[in-house]
Amino acid sequence: MQTMLAARLHAIGEPMELEQVPVPEPRSTDVVVAVKACNIVPNLKNVLATYAEWFPYLPLPKLPAVFGLDAAGVVTEVGEQVTGVSVGDRVYVNPGLSCGGCRACRRGEDQNCDDYTFMGYFAFGPGGQRLFDAYPYGGLAEYLTAPQQNLVKLPDTVSFEAGARFGYLGTSYSALRKAGAGPGRTVLIDGISGTLGLGACLNALALGATRILGTGRNAALLDDVKAIAPDRIAVLPAGTADVRDWAREHNDGDGVDIVIDALGPGAPAESFLDAVSALSRGGVAVDIGGMMERPQLDLFAMMCAQQSVLGSLWFSTGEAQEMAELAGTGALDLSVFEHHVFPLEQINDALDEGLPARHGGFTNFIAAPQS
């Protein structure tokens, strides 16, 4: 039996253990991917340690488990019924797994499956363990298996390190698509200098949004974001002006068409409400950051203004492929990312305060199981 190196977590709060485990074999419609890059969630250790308290309704896999959410690499083996994928293909693996048989799955709405599960991370329903068992390895291993329909082919111009950022990027891409982003639209991104927010900014530029407005706490980081496209981006340090008035000043007196809220669970509800106040009639606000406070929305006023609030979870493989094609043409510019790469053997050092200081969303932490 062939074996490979993997980092497995045996107990919450403990270091991951580097172990030799069997190299996975593909089922008939699966592929095997040699993992070249896997995104490191900077706060993964703390998230897992507090998971049961924060999200008791989102099951983790049975331990020991191989985590690692966003993996990119090279296809090394294909199942006998795989079509359109060949050994040697460069791919990103969309970790979103669904049951395949429920009403949502039959409609092609994988993310609405009650058992939707992130390979190498957590599930959204009690049926997730069956999917963890079917695809037991995340990206913190030398190889993993994945369904052929979860593969995104990477253009040669997109590095594995950039491909491993697709989870954060795709989350905002799907949100912007739902909200109708494109030419003639103005997008306000709450938390534009963070990991999700910067991805939203880059995708809004790629989709042709006329103006991108952004808020954040760090003025220096905001300046770096503005420098990406100073003729199309305007930024506001949090608390320095009324968001509604400022947005109209930078949008010819009009409200914004789209709000993308990229702030995380600990963010105050007031920040979201301030951003929503900047919406135009018919505007759409989309939450992708997972804020846990419960904002008091004026639904009557929103009804009268025909405004919408959406939650957007992850993205489809098709949306990720669209995004990859935009990156391949250069419309989606991924050159702004600063990659910090660690061999798999150093994963515990990286997670235990070993990551360098972050440059906001520009920083991209990567584990490299295979060089």
Sketch out the chain's domains with CATH numbers: 3-165+337-368 (3.90.180.10), 170-311 (3.90.180.10)
In the chain, which stretches have pLDDT less than 50?
none
Sign of CA dihedral 322, 307, 312, 262: positive
Q: What is the DSSP letter of 355?
A: S
Across the beta sheet with 308-311, the strand order is 233-237, 211-216, 186-190, 256-261, 279-287, 308-311
Is there a contact between 241 and 256 (Cβ–Cβ < 8 Å)? no
pLDDT tens for residues 191-246?
999 999 999 999 999 999 999 999 999 999 999 999 999 999 999 999 999 999 99
Per-residue pLDDT at 371:
82
pTM above the 0.75 mark?
yes
Per-residue pLDDT at 35:
98
How far separated are the first and last CA of the chain, in Å rounded? 23
Per-residue pLDDT at 42:
72
SS3 356: coil
Per-residue pLDDT at 119:
96
